[in-house]
Structure formats: C-alpha cells, structure tokens
Amino acid sequence: MIGLAACLLLAGGGQDSTSVLDFEGAFDVSTVVAWDAKAVLSKAGTGTALRVTTFHAQEWPGITLKAPRGAWDLSRHARLSMDMANVGKNAVTVGLRVDSGESDGLMNANTGWITLGAGARGTLTIDFVRRLPAPEGVKLFGMRGFPGSRYETIDPSRVTQLVVFLKRPSEDHEFEVDSIRAEGAPPGPAAAPVPADPFFPLIDELGQYIHRDWPGKARSAEELRARAAEEAKDLASRAGPAGWDRYGGWAGGPALEATGFFRVQKHEGRWWLVDPEGRLFFSHGVDCVTLKGSTPVEERETWFRGWPRRDDPDFGAFFHPAHEVLHEHYRGRTPLCFDITGANLRRKHGPEWKARASEAAHARLRGWGLNTIGNWSDEEVRLMRKTPYTVGIHCGGRSLEGSEGYWQAFRDVFDPSFAAALKDRLKGEAGRSAGDPWCLGYFVDNELSWGDETSLALATLKSPAGQAAKREFVEDLRKKHVEIGKLNAAWGTAHASWDALLADRRPPDPKRAGEDLLAFNARTATQYFKLCRDAVKEVAPRQLYLGCRFAWVNPMAAGIAAKHADVVSFNVYQRAPEMFEFAAKDAPVLIGEFHFGALDRGPFHPGLVRVRDQEERAKAYRDFVQACRRHPQVVGCHWFQFRDQPTTGRELDGENYQIGFVDIADTPYPELVAAAREAGAGLYPPRPSGR
C-alpha cells in the first residue's frame, strides 16, 4: 500500500496520474455501500487503506464507492488502477467495475480482475474501453461492440461509481484497497470523430470500418495479392524455430519412449506432452484456423460498400443462410450471411484460394513459432497432416431440463441418448483423425455450465419426472434413506411418497439436502467424464482425451475430470495463468483458449481481456506463454483465435473481437507475430524451476 505522501504526489496534477480515492483525511467510510460485506478504515504503513471483509451468503458480495459529487471526470486518462493487499488467510480473486451512468454490470461498465494469494500485494488495472462515437439517430445491431454502443463501454468523463466485488465465493475473505488513481493518456485513434453524414455505408469491400484509418489497413484486392507475395518471401526465409522435430517437439531434448502417437508424461517433476517420436512437446497453438468467417447482411444491406450481388459468378457462393444464431439481434433465426473471410481469401489467392490458403496456414504457423492447430479449425486444413492438431467433439442427447447455460443446457448423462450421440459422433472420426499420429487428441464439449458443487443435482430435482437423471437421483435417495419420512426429516420437506418427490420440481433447501446434493453432483460428473473418455478410447484408443474446456468450473468437477481425462483443459481469460485456479491438482493442464485485444486497429470490440494497443497485446502474449512454460502442470496454451472476427459480428452470436493473428483482410499483425516467434523460439531451452 502507498501512504499519504505518495497519494498527495499523485493528486498534484502530474501528467500521468490523478488520484481518485486515497482514503486519507476526510474520507467518510459511512458513504461506502456494502452488501454481504463490511468496510472499515485501516492503518497501512504510513497511510490509511480501506479494509474490506466479504462473506459468502450472496453470489456477488462487495462494496460500492460512489463519486462524491456525482461523477469523476477521468477523460484525460487511459486507465484506472487500484493498489491491493490480501490480508486474509486464503487466496482471493477480486473484481473492480467502473460505471458511467446506470449499469447492470455490462452496460456502461468496464471490469477488471486480480487474484492474490494470502499475504500478497498487487495492482488491479482497468483500461478504459471508450464509447466509440456515432451520429445521432443511427441504429446499429447484431454485434457486441459498435459506434455508440453502451455494452461494456464507458464515458470516462462521467464515472459515477466504482464497484469492488467477488464472484460466488465459497468462504470469507479480507483484503485492503488503496490509492485508486487514473493513469496514462488516452489513445487518440479510438476517440477519433465519426462523420455524421454520410455514415452509411460504414464497411468497405474488404470488411473494414470505413470511418477510420490505421496501420496495415488494406485498400484493395490488388494490395492483398501484393502482401501475399511479400509474406511468402518472409516465410520462405523464416521456416520455423531451429531445434524442432517435424511435429514441433524438442529435437535436442530428452529421448523418451516413442509410441507413434502423442501422450502425456511427468518428466523431472513437470507434466509434458510427448510427441510421436518420443520428444518433449509443448503445445503452442492457435484456435479457429479456418477459411471462413461470416456476418449477417439481412436487414443491414445499406451498411456495406461494394459488396457482391448474390448472382455474382465469383462471389455469390459466399452468401448463405446462418447455420445457427444463439445470441444478439438474430437469435433463433437464420438470416442471410456473407462469408467475408472466404471472399477475401478468394480475392487474395484467386480461384484456387482454398488450397493456397490452406498451404499458407501451415507455413504461417510454423514460421510464426506455433506447433498446434487448436479447436474449431477446418478439417481440410487439419488433415493435410503438416501441423499437429486437436479435434472438438460436440453431440446431442436429451437436455437436463432444469439446468441452464450460456451456450446450452447441460445434457442428461444418464439418458441413453447422450452416450449414443457421443459414440455416433466419434465414429465419424474413424479413418480421418482417429489413428492419425498428427492428432493430439479430442476435446469433448466446450464451456459447459457446471455451476457450483450442487448445481447439477439441484437442476436434476427441478426437472420433470420423466428425466432419466431424476429417476437415478430419486433411486439413490430411496436406497440411502429407505423411507420417505426419513428423507423428509433430513431435508425439511413433506413429500407424501417417492413418486411425489419424483413429480415435484421444487428444489430443497441446499443446506439441509447438501450431503445428498453433493453426492449426486459427483455421480453426474463421474458419469459424464467416464462416458466421454470411454467413447474417445473406443474409436481412438492411442490418442488423448483432452477434457471439456472448462470456463466455469468448481473444484469437484475439475477433480473428477482429472481422474478420467488424459489432460484437463481450461479456457483462461485472464492476464496470466497464475491468476486462474486450475482446481485439478497434479494433473496435466492444457489452456484451450486465451487472448488479448485492443481498439487501435479497426474492430469495435477488444475481446474478453483488453489491452491498450498492439504493443501491449504482444507483451501480454509473451508474458502469458512464458508463464505457462514455467507452470509445472501446463502442457500447452492455444490462442483464440487465428483471425479477427467480422467487424459487423460473427453469425453465431455477434462477437466482433480484435483477437486475431491476422485481421479481417488476412493481413498479419506484425507485433503479435513477432511475439509468437519469440515465444516459439524459446519453448525448449531448460524450463525455469518453480512456477
């Protein structure tokens, strides 16, 4: 914590920082709004900090610090920082939300996170995502970020409050906050004015925003072709890191047993992948290596300048109805879409664009120091068998009707339809990826909604009597309690019979039913991971089951996954893997997704982890990969994704993030490419000890 003298220095009007709150002098602690928490002033060295104690009766305990005069004007700065100290006995992950006006946590808000171990100190920093200007009366839709959008953007000139909070803690925590300050100068390009007339069209022939310029912005199809020739020369002279074998493993490292397939092994106290030739392998990869990327054009015909007609002989084939829309404006519909990625690759590579772009993808990956094609990638690229790859398995089966999820409800893993659909889907890999030494293995599912350690059991009880999982649960309860009266006594319920319990969709008191809920939750997770592993091994017995790509997870589910999966996979959207609790002890871990994005080049949304510009994005990438290499459990990390999403939003859900190695016109970001090359070149020297 910094003391009073430093706070006064910050408040003294320096160019780089301005004090917002320092908790010294006349600060009135009674103005702090707390929920499931309390806040008191505490001496910290020579100064005073705000000590916050959070409990866990509510999902989001924390405090609100309101602007004393209604709003702070932080428009002269780029970010907000808050010093912190964890004075509790357990690790804590704390969120800080900056609100400008009324906010529901997403609208008019920017949010950042920090994880601190017991006794640790750190600084939580949030880069402001400024609202891009748009003319009055303009209505834009179908994308996450856009000019005028209030979604995850703020007006720094009117910051009304700061919210310090925890997400679903399972225990009490205690930490101190101090020296909240605004820092840095705002970036110029993101705040550039937009011409009011004409605003439409706003997207050019190549899918780029018309009303701004930036380094690397393409001007024509001819320029794309010229860039392709220049890049080919560069890749010919930089064919990949020295010291790699053909798979990208450590050719000069220890020679372990070569089985002809990828496997995992703990070597000298660390988990590693081992490639088919018996060499240690760290999976440095990228997701979504695809030749397609579509955006809806229906209801938005005036947005696009010079786009082809549907009857165009060369580009009409890039129009198609949406396969599925899960979120945003077109949810549940099948609007007409245009594959802007494919169209640009056609412009760049000519009639043989698919073959040429696929070849270029492999050359790029190796030349950029990447050795793995990650999830969501095109099969025609993967099966060229020039770069190791993973396969994502998704299937149907009956849903658990009482469950909820961002992507979908959890499946009923006790219903025979789940196992049947899983086996059927995996049989489709026979003769393709199954038995292919270039295939590391299989992810099954992605970002399932596991909830806490009783969520799936409660969802089962909320389901109808015909749900297979509910029948299993009730049968377990009958065997344990024997009589319905004994269960009623334990749960505080009044069910007339076991059949009445089966028909009842009201959840019990989680505290009174906790032991039974925990037991069935564990049984559900065990059934899920066992079925997934068995299905993978039946079709591909020598390849790896890579888990379910946890995004929302609890320790129980992660621990059970570690017993069944060869590798436990997590999608980690934080600045460093150390900030994420893997909850799978002494098991190999693969990070299936991570990324950083900025608003200094073209797209309207920076993605899930924001940074200031391309230079900071490159640094964050290098730091993340290096931290993964140091971690004794991490066997690889895959960037999400290969290219920026369409400027006007992808068809699935409107995401339009600046998260690519290449932009929408297939031009590489030189800063990120340089960072990947540096990281790739340093994968295999002796890994530093410790984490």
The per-residue pLDDT for range 363-417, each reduced to its tens digit, is: 999 999 999 999 999 999 999 999 999 999 999 999 999 998 888 899 999 999 9
How confident is the model over 662-688, as pLDDT tens digits?
A: 999 999 999 999 999 999 999 997 554
Here the contacts of 115-118 (C-beta below 8 Å, separation 24 or greater) are 115/91, 115/574, 115/578, 115/579, 115/580, 115/581, 116/84, 116/85, 116/86, 116/91, 116/92, 116/175, 117/86, 117/91, 118/86, 118/88, 118/89, 118/90, 118/91
Backbone angles phi, psi at 583, to 5 degrees: 55, 20
Mean pLDDT computed over 496-505? 98
Q: Which of 149-153, 178-182, 224-228 has the lowest mean pLDDT?
A: 149-153
Quote the pLDDT of residue 11. 34
DSSP string, 549-575: -BSB--HHHHHHHHHH-SSEEEE--SS
DSSP 609-675: SB-SSHHHHHHHHHHHHHHHHHSTTEEEEEES-SBPPPTT--TTT---B---SB-TTS-B-HHHHHH
- Predicted confidence (pLDDT) at residue 639 exceeds the cutoff of 80: yes
Q: Tally Cβ neighbours within 10 Å of residue 239.
A: 10
Question: Could you give the percent of the chain with pLDDT greater than 90?
Answer: 83
pLDDT above 70 as % of the chain: 95
User: Residue 621 is encoded by which pair of tokens?
Assistant: 């990438």
The token pair at 133 is 């200007």
| Whether residue 3 has pLDDT greater than 50 | no
Amino acid 263: pLDDT: 98
Give the pLDDT confidence of 439-481 residue by residue, as tens digits: 999 999 999 999 999 999 999 999 999 999 999 999 999 999 9
Residue partners of 552: CB distance under 8 A and separation at least 6: 447, 448, 449, 450, 451
Q: Which tokens hold the place of 229?
A: 């020739």
Residue pair 181/17 in contact (Cβ under 8 Å)? The answer is yes
Report d(CA 588, CA 441) in Å as an integer: 14
The sign one gets for the Cα dihedral 362, 363, 368, 371 is positive
Within 10 Å of residue 682's Cβ, how many Cβ atoms? Answer: 15
Residue 1 has pLDDT above 60, yes or no: no
Query: Which residues of the chain are in CATH 3.20.20.80 domains?
Result: 221-298+313-375+549-681
Distance CA 567, CA 341 (A): 33
Work out the mean pLDDT of the chain and round it to a whole number. 92
Residue extent(s) of CATH 2.60.120.430 domains in the chain: 4-184
Please indicate whether residue 117 or residue 472 has the higher confidence score (pLDDT).
472
What values do phi and psi take at 500, rounded to 5?
Answer: -65, -40
pLDDT at 268: 94
**Beta 79-86 vs 121-127: how paired, if at all?**
antiparallel
Query: Comparing 105 with 166, which gets the higher pLDDT?
Result: 166
What is the mean predicted confidence (pLDDT) over 130-154? 88
Buried b (16+ CB within 10 A) or exposed e, 315-329: beebbeebeebeebb
Location of structure tokens 């993967």: 382
State the pLDDT at residue 196.
57
The answer, yes or no, to whether the previous bond of 254 is cis (omega within 30 of 0) is no
Q: What is the mean pLDDT of residues 523-536?
A: 98
| pLDDT at site 5 | 28
Where is 50: in which H helix or E strand? strand 47-54
pLDDT > 80? residue 159? yes
Structure tokens at 316: 């009409």
pLDDT of residue 195: 64
- Whether 128 and 79 have beta carbons less than 8 Å apart is answered as yes
pLDDT in tens, 226-263: 999 999 999 999 989 999 999 999 999 999 999 999 99
By three-state DSSP, how is residue 8 classified?
Answer: helix
How confident is the model over 567-587, as pLDDT tens digits?
Answer: 999 999 988 776 566 777 899
Q: Where are the alpha helices (DSSP H) in 313-407?
A: 340-349, 353-367, 379-382
Give the model's confidence band at 492: pLDDT under 50 very low, under 70 low, under 90 confident, else very high.
very high
pTM given for the model: 0.90
Q: How far apart are CA 206 and CA 239, in angstroms?
A: 29
CA–CA separation, 347 and 26 (whole Å): 65
| CATH code of domain 4-184 | 2.60.120.430
Gap between the Cα atoms of 514 and 511, Å rounded: 5
Average of per-residue pLDDT across 636-662: 97
pLDDT score recorded for residue 691: 42
Mean pLDDT confidence for 617-629: 96
Residue type, 91: A
User: Residues 108-136: what's their mean pLDDT?
Assistant: 89
Worst-scoring range by mean pLDDT, 12-21, 42-51, 184-193, 679-688? Answer: 184-193
Please tell me the predicted confidence (pLDDT) of residue 44.
Answer: 67
Q: Which residue has the higher pLDDT, 275 or 153?
A: 275
Are 292 and 339 contacting, i.e. CB atoms less than 8 angstroms apart? yes
Residue 103 has pLDDT above 80, yes or no: yes
The pLDDT of residue 193 is 58
Q: Is the dihedral of CA 261, 265, 271, 277 positive or negative?
A: negative
Render pLDDT for 313-332 as a digit per residue (tens, 0 to 9).
999 999 999 998 988 899 99
pLDDT band at 18 (very low <50, low <70, confident <90, very high): very high
How is residue 291 annotated by DSSP?
S
- Strand 270-274 and strand 263-267: the pairing is antiparallel
CATH superfamily, region 221-298+313-375+549-681: Glycosidases (3.20.20.80)
pLDDT for the residue numbered 245? 97
Residue 496 has pLDDT above 50, yes or no: yes
In this model, does residue 340 exceed pLDDT 60? yes
For residue 13, what pLDDT band results from cuts at 50, 70 and 90?
very low
pLDDT for the residue 36? 97
